[in-house]
Amino acid sequence: MFMAKKPLLEFTDRGIYCPVGRFYIDPWLPVDDAVITHAHSDHARVGHRRYLAHEYSEQVLRYRLGEIQLQTVPYGETLMKNGVQIGLYPAGHVIGSAQVRVCYQDEVWVVSGDYKVDDDGISTPFEPVRCHHFISECTFGMPVYRWKPQAETFAEINNWWRKNVENGLATVIVGYSLGKAQRVLQNLDLSIGKVYTHGVIENTNEALRRNGIALNPTHRITTDLAKEEIRKGIVIAPPSAVGSPWMRRFNPYDFGYCSGWMSIRGAKRRRAADRGFVLSDHADWDGLISAIDATGCEKVYLTHGYTASFARYLNEIGFDAHEVHTLYGGDELTAADEEIAPTQPPPEGEALVPDDESKVLPSGEDLGGAGL
């Protein structure tokens, strides 16, 4: 007689769970054992008893989550948990980001976490992993999102910076503190000038350096730095700094925003950025389809973003795709999200602002209303 087999991974209200191995992957409520794909706040939360992550994530996780019990592994090495084999493989999303491969009795599942397929020159490039079941993000799962090669975008950024220096304007480039900031840093033309960083970004840089990652030289912004000096260089700032007094002191400045959302004019306008640079740490439409195809999977489950549309399209072109509701990224911010806010205060300036671009925030304005 045929018995319906329990799936190796299931979607619970705490997160993705492996009942045989008794561990979770990127859970959003406190659990005993959590495998963490990467250190972004919608994936790595406080309150778990034990953490497992890639070795390059170690210092950033400790900086962000404080005292945690953490075990790390390099890419490709496997370990066993209650008879289930776990291995981490490069996701190319940010430094230390991993896809989690879970194998039990010849059945293989892969959880992508967040990923991109293009080599950004700093994160270990994405590697497709063959599997039966693939849980994939699809933050940019619409065909209007297609990235150009990053060399083109960085040529734009460097030209813009050069022009601002000529015009005596400070240059402020905005990107998330883990991932985008380092990617920008490593691709700037340092013959133009020095790189200055916001405290939150410099803290992240320092954590990465402690982890042995070689980053270009940066200078933390302090109050005693002369405005004229900063104007000759470039400032890397996190999204939370936009419009803040911290940023206004660079006046006159031009500010550029780096994000995949910038490929749409409307989104660019809502950010009120002087310049929008299309630069994403997520896979674009073609990247998602090629990555999913390369796994050879029988079934694909979609999280983050345009899950419904993307699932429908994948089904039409012959995949067995399913939409999954998670608390990652682009779904509506629910009350639950706020309840599980970190118990310790988040690093300066990043309170509750997701550090991953998979959440679109409005331009952050208080428009007042009655009684203003």
Partner 1 sequence: MKAFAQLFLSLDETNKTNEKVRVLKDYFLSVPDSDKMHMLALFTGRRPKRPINATLVRTWAMEMAHIPVWLFEESYQVVGDLAETITLLLPKSTSSSNKTLTEWIAEINAIATQTEEGRKQWLLSSWETLDTQERFVFNKLLTGGFRIGVSQNLVVKALADISGLDAATVTHRIMGNWMPENYQFADLVAAEGLSDDVSRPYPFFLAYPIQETSEKQKTAGELQVALGDAAEWQAEWKWDGIRAQLINRNGQIFIWSRGEDLATEKFPELHPFLKALPHGTVLDGEILSFKDGLPMPFNVLQTRIGRKNLSKKILEESPVALIAYDCLEHNGEDIRHKPQAERRLLLEQLQAATAHPDIFRISVLIGFNSWGELAEIRGQSRSMIAEGVMLKRKNAAYQVGRRRGDWWKWKIDPLSVDAVMIYAQKGHGRRADLYTDYTFAVWDGDKLVPFAKAYSGLSDEEIRKVDNFVKRNTLEKFGPVRTVKPELVFEIGFEGINYSTRHKSGVALRFPRILRWRTDKPMEEADTLETLKALL
228 binds, among Zn ion, partner 1, none (CB under 5 to 8 A by kind): none
Residues 109 to 148 in contact with partner 1, rule: CB under 8 A: 142-146
Residue 6 in the binding site for partner 1 (CB under 8 A) = no
Shortest separation between residue 322's beta carbon and Zn ion, angstroms: 18
Q: What angle do CA 197, 64, 11 make, to 5 degrees?
A: 125
- Under the binding rule (CB under 8 A), the answer on residue 162 touching partner 1 is no
Q: Of all residues in the chain, what percent are helix, strand and coil, respectively (each to 5)? A: 25, 25, 50
Q: Which of 55, 350, 356, 357 binds Zn ion (CB under 5 A)?
A: 356
Site residues for Zn ion, 4-43, by CB under 5 A, read 40, 42
- Tokens 């509701």 map to which residue? 325
Residue 356: contacted member of Zn ion, partner 1, none (CB under 5 to 8 Å, by partner type): Zn ion
Tokens of 123: 């994160």
Q: Does 329 help bind Zn ion (rule: CB under 5 A)?
A: yes
Q: Which two tokens stand for residue 201?
A: 């970004």
Q: How far is the CB of 331 from partner 1 (least distance, A)?
A: 8
The interface with partner 1 within residues 255-284 (CB under 8 A) comprises 263-267, 269-270, 272, 274-275
Amino acid at position 290, single letter: S
Contact yes or no for 330/360 (Cβ under 8 A): yes
Binding of partner 1 by 22 (CB under 8 A): no
Angle between helix 58-65 and 199-210 (nearest 10): 140
Q: How far apart are CA 44 and CA 51, in angstroms?
A: 9
Determine, following the binding rule CB under 8 A, whether residue 353 of this chain makes contact with partner 1.
no
Site for Zn ion in 75-134 (CB under 5 A): 114
Please give the structure tokens belonging to residue 193: 């000038």
Shortest distance (Å) from residue 257 CB to Zn ion:
17
Task: Cite the DSSP H helix spans in the chain.
Answer: 58-65, 150-166, 180-187, 199-210, 227-232, 245-248, 265-271, 285-295, 307-316, 335-339
Number of CB atoms found within 10 A of residue 106's CB: 6
Do residues 327 and 41 touch, judged by C-beta distance below 8 A? no
Residue 360: which of Zn ion, partner 1, none does it interact with, CB under 5 to 8 A by kind? partner 1
With CB cut-offs between 5 and 8 Å by kind, which of partner 1, Zn ion, none does residue 319 bind? Answer: none
Q: 67, 224, 228, 316: which one contacts partner 1 (CB under 8 A)?
A: 316
Footprint on this chain of Zn ion (rule: CB under 5 A): 40, 42, 114, 328-329, 356, 358
Site residues for partner 1 per CB under 8 A = 142-146, 263-267, 269-270, 272, 274-275, 306, 309, 312-313, 316, 330, 332-333, 359-363, 365-372
